[in-house]
Structure 1
Amino acid sequence: MIYPKNFEQKIGFSEVRRMLADHCLSTLGKEEAAQITFLTDASAIRESLQQTREFRRLLEETEDFPLNFFYDMRTAVARIRIENTHLEEEELFNLRRSLDTINQIVTILNKPKEDIPETDDEDETTNTGAEENAQTAAVVAALRDSNYPYPALHRLADGVATFPNLIQRIDQILDRFGHLRDTASPELLRLRRELQRAEGSISRTLYSILHSAQSEGLVDKDVTPAVRDGRLVLPINPAVKRKIKGIVHDESATGKTIFVEPEEVVEANNHIRELESQERQEVIRILTEITKKIRPYTRELLDSYHFLAQIDLVHARTALAQQMRAIEPEVVDHPHIDWGAARHPLLERIVERIVPLDITLTPEKHILIISGPNAGGKSVCLKTVGLLQYMLQCGLSIPVSETSKTGIFHDIMIDIGDEQSLENDLSTYSSHLLNMKNMMKQASPKTLILIDEFGTGTEPQIGGAIAESVLDKFCQKGAWGVITTHYQNLKHFADSHAGVVNGAMLYDRHEMRPLFQLAIGRPGSSFAIEIARKIGLPEDVIQEASEIVGSDYIQSDKYLQDIVRDKRYWENKRQTIHQREKELEKTMDRYENGLQEVEAERKEILRKAKEEAQALLQESNRRIENTIREIRESQAEKAETKRIRQELKEFSEGVDDIDTKAKDDAISKKIEQIKQRKERHERHQAEKAKRQEKAAATLRQAVNHQIPQGHLQPGDPVRMKGTTSIGTMESIDGKTALVVFGDMKTKVKVDRLERASADKEQQVTKGDAMAERISSYQISQATRKTIDDHKTNFHQDLDVRGMRGDEALNAVQYFIDDAILVGMPRVRILHGKGNGILRQLIRQYLATVPNVTHFGDEHVQFGGAGITVVDIG
Structure 2
Amino acid sequence: MKIYPLNLEQKISFDKIRELIREECSSSLGSDFVQKISFSRDSVLIQRLLDQTEEFKRLLLSGEYFPTTNFVNIHPYLDKARLEGTFLYEEEFHEIKLGLQTLTSCVDFFNYNEQEYPQLFQLLGMVNDDRTLIRAIDRVLDERGKVKNNATQELAMIRSQLLYEESRLRKVLDAVFRQAKSQGFTPEDASVTIRGGRMVMPVLAEYKRRIKGFIHDESATGQTVYMEPAEVLDINNDIRDLEYMERREVQKILTQLTDILRGYIPDLRKAFHFLGLVDFIRAKAKFALKIEGNKPHLERSKQISWKKARHPLLELSLKAQKKQIVPIDVSLDPNRRILVISGPNAGGKSVTLKTIALLQYMFQCGILIPVEPESKCTVFDQFFIDIGDEQNLENDLSTYSSHLMNMKNFTRFANKRTLFFIDEFGTGTEPQFGGAIAEGILIALNKSGAFGVITTHYGNLKQLASKSQGLVNGAMRYDVEHLEPLYQLEMGKPGSSFAFEIAKKIGIDEEIILHAKAQVGETRVNYDRMLLKLEGEKNRYEQLLLENERKEKQLNRQLVEYTELKATLESSKKQILNEAKVQAKALLDDTNKRIENTIREIKENKADKEKTKQVRKSLEEHKASIKPEKSKLPQPTAEIKVLDGEIKVGDQVRLKDNGAIAEVIAIQQRTAEITIGDLKSKVKLSRLERVSNTAVKKEKKALARSSGFSTHTRMLEFSTNLDLRGKRGEEILPLLQNFIDDGYMLGRTELRVVHGKGDGILRDLCRNMLRHMPVVSRFEDEHVDRGGSGVTLVFLKEN
TM-score > 0.5 by shorter chain: yes
Letter in 2 for 1:512: L
Q: How does 1:796-811 map to 2 (within 5 A)?
A: none
* Residue of structure 1 in register with 2:257 after alignment: 290
- Aligned positions of 1:442-481 closer than 5 A: 442-481=413-452
**Compared with structure 1, are the counterparts of its residues 96 and 580 closer, same or farther at alpha carbon in structure 2 (3 Å cutoff)?**
farther
1:721-740 equivalent positions in 2, closer than 5 A: none
Q: Which residue of 1 aligns with 2:138?
A: 171
1:547 pairs with 2:515: no
Residue number among 326, 336, 358 corresponding to 1:355 in the alignment: 326
Measure how far apart 1:513 and its partner are: 0.5
Unaligned runs of 5+ in 2: 565-799
Write out aligned runs for 1:190-229 (5 A): 190-229=157-196
Percent identity between the aligned chains? 45
Cα deviations across residues 292-322 of structure 1 (Å, max 9, x unaligned)?
2222121111100111111111111111111
Q: Distance in 1 between matches of 2:316 and 2:534?
A: 35
Counterpart residue identity of residue 259, structure 1: Y
Partner of 2:200: 233
Deviations 1:110-135, CA, capped at 9 Å, x for gaps: 2377xxxxxxxxxxxxxxxxxxxxxx
* CA positional deviation for 1:347: 0.5
Q: Which residue of 2 aligns with 1:825?
A: none
Aligned to 1:94: 95
Cα distance between partner residues in 2 of 1:193 and 1:427:
83
8 Å contact kept, 2:362–2:368 = yes
| Residue pair 1:334, 1:409 contacting (<8 A) in 2 also | no
Q: Aligned AA for 1:377?
A: G
Q: Is it true that 1:418 corresponds to 2:357 in the alignment? A: no
Shift of 1:184: 0.4
Instruction: Kindly report structure 1 stretches of 4+ aligned residues shifted beyond 6 Å.
Output: 571-589
Counterparts in 2 of 1:211 and 1:151: CA distance versus 1, 3 Å: same
CA contact 1:38–1:394 (8 Å) conserved in 2: yes
Q: Does 1:45 align with 2:56?
A: no
User: Which residue matches 1:693?
Assistant: none
Which AA in structure 2 matches 1:19?
A: L
Structure 2 vs 1, CA of residues 198 and 456 (structure 1 numbering), >3 Å: closer, same or farther?
A: same
SS of equivalent residue, structure 1 residue 396: coil
CA distance in 2, matches of 1:208, 1:449: 89
Q: Structure 2 matches for 1:321-332, cutoff 5 A?
A: 321-332=288-299
Take 1:533 and 1:14, find their aligned partners in 2: how far apart are those partners?
41
Q: Is the 8 A contact 2:472 2:492 kept in 1?
A: yes
Give SS of 2:358's match.
helix
Q: Check if 1:2 corresponds to 2:13.
A: no
The residue aligned with 2:267 is: 300
RMSD of Structure 2 on Structure 1 (CA): 2.8
Aligned residue among 478, 486, 492 for 1:515: 486
Letter of the structure 2 residue corresponding to residue 554 of structure 1:
V
Of residues 317, 338, 358, the one that matches 1:387 is 358
Once the two structures are superposed, the pairs formed by residues 332-411 of structure 1 within 5 Å of their partners are 332-351=299-318, 352-411=323-382
Partners of 1:14 and 1:235 in 2: how far apart? 62
Cα separation, partners in 2 of 1:477 and 1:22, compared to 1, 3 Å: same
After superposition, the C-alpha distances for 1:509-554 in whole angstroms (9 at most, x for unaligned) are 1111100000010111111111111112222222222222223322
Alpha-carbon distance between aligned partners in 1 of 2:447 and 2:492, rounded to the nearest angstrom: 21
Q: What corresponds to 1:154 in structure 2?
A: 121
Aligned residues of 1:21 and 1:30 also touching (Cα < 8 A) = yes
1:263-282 correspondence to structure 2 within 5 Å? 263-282=230-249
1:564-643 → structure 2 map (5 Å cutoff): 564-567=535-538
C-alpha separation between the residues in 2 aligned to 1:391 and 1:580? 41
**How many Å separate the matches in 1 of 2:408 and 2:370?**
33
Tell me if the contact between 2:128 and 2:271 (Cα under 8 Å) persists in the aligned partners: yes
> Take 1:112 and 1:375, find their aligned partners in 2: how far apart are those partners?
50
Provide the C-alpha distance between the structure 2 equivalents of 1:227 and 1:424, rounded to a whole number of angstroms: 72
Residue-by-residue CA offset, 1:637-687 (whole Å, 9 max, x unaligned): xxxxxxxxxxxxxxxxxxxxxxxxxxxxxxxxxxxxxxxxxxxxxxxxxxx
Q: Kindly provide the CA deviation profile for residues 133-172 of structure 1, in whole angstroms up to 9, marking residues without a partner as x.
A: xxxxxxxxxxxxxxx3221111111352123222222211
Structure 1 pair 254–432 and aligned structure 2 pair: CA distance change class (3 A): farther
Distance 1:444 1:235 in 2: 88
Q: Counterpart amino acid of 2:516?
A: A
CA shift digits 1:373-432 (9 cap, x unpaired) = 111111110110111111111111100012211111112121111111222222211221
1:337 Cα deviation from its structure 2 partner: 1.1
Q: Distance in 1 between matches of 2:450 and 2:481?
A: 38
Q: 1:381 to 1:306 in 2, by over 3 A?
A: same
Q: How many Å apart are 1:457 and its aligned residue? A: 1.1
Alignment equivalent of 2:281, drawn from 306, 309, 314:
314
Q: Name the CA shift for 1:506/1:19 in 2 (closer, same or farther; >3 Å).
A: same
TM-aligned CA distance change 1:507 to 1:267, over 3 Å = same
Q: CA deviation at 1:328?
A: 1.1
Taking the aligned partners of 1:399 and 1:203, their CA distance within structure 2 comes to: 69
Q: Retained in 2: the 8 A contact 1:42–1:332?
A: no
1:71 corresponds to: 72
TM-score, normalisation: structure 1: 0.61
Relative distance call for 1:69 and 1:254 in structure 2 (3 A) is same
Residue of structure 1 in register with 2:744 after alignment: none
Q: Which amino acid aligns with 2:160?
A: R
Q: Partner of 2:466 in structure 1?
A: 495
Q: Distance in 2 between matches of 1:252 and 1:439?
A: 79
* C-alpha separation in 2, matches of 1:249 and 1:362: 87
- Going from structure 1 to structure 2, the CA distance change for 1:479 and 1:570 (only over 3 Å counts) comes to farther
Contact 1:236/1:259 (<8 A) preserved? yes
User: Matched residue of 1:402: which SS?
Assistant: coil
CA distance in 1, matches of 2:412, 2:208: 89
What CA distance in whole angstroms lies between the structure 2 residues aligned with 1:257 and 1:360?
86
For residues 308 and 225 of structure 1, the distance between their equivalents in structure 2, rounded to whole angstroms, comes to: 50
Contact kept in structure 2, 1:99 and 1:162, CA below 8 Å: no
- Structure 2 distance, partners of 1:291, 1:520, is 66
CA contact (8 A) 2:53 2:281 kept: yes
Q: Distance in 2 between the 1:493 and 1:257 partners?
A: 97
* C-alpha distance in 1 between matches for 2:356 and 2:521: 36
CA contact (8 A) 2:477 2:487 kept: yes
- 2:386 maps to amino acid: D
Give per-residue Cα distances to partners, 1:56-95, cap 9 Å, x unaligned: 3334446322222211112212321222222221221222
Alignment of 1:758-837 (within 5 A): none
Distance 1:174 1:365, change over 3 A: same
Write the distance in 2 (CA, Å) between the matches of 1:574 and 1:476.
Answer: 40
CA distance 1:511–1:222, change in 2 (3 Å): same
Aligned partners of 2:478 and 2:535 also within 8 Å: no
User: Contact conserved, 2:400 with 2:427, CA < 8 A, in 1?
Assistant: yes
Query: Structure 2: which amino acid aligns with 1:306?
Result: H
Residues 110, 158 of structure 1: 8 Å contact kept: no
The alignment of Structure 1 onto Structure 2 pairs a total of residues equal to 558
Residues 264 and 431 (structure 1), Cα distance of their counterparts in 2 relative to 1, 3 Å cut? farther
**2:88 corresponds to which letter in structure 1?**
L
Counterpart CA distance in 2 for 1:434 and 1:239 is 90
What is the alpha-carbon distance in structure 1 between the residues aligned to residue 466 and residue 280 of structure 2? 46
- Other structure's SS at 2:263 match: helix
CA distance in 2, matches of 1:209, 1:160: 62
| Contact preservation (8 Å) 1:99, 1:163 | no
1:22 aligns to 2:30 (yes or no): no
Contact 2:311-2:355 at 8 Å conserved across structures: yes
Question: What CA distance in whole angstroms lies between the structure 1 residues aligned with 2:25 and 2:36?
Answer: 13
Gaps of at least 5 residues in structure 1 are 114-147, 595-873
Q: 2:336 is matched by which residue type in structure 1?
A: K
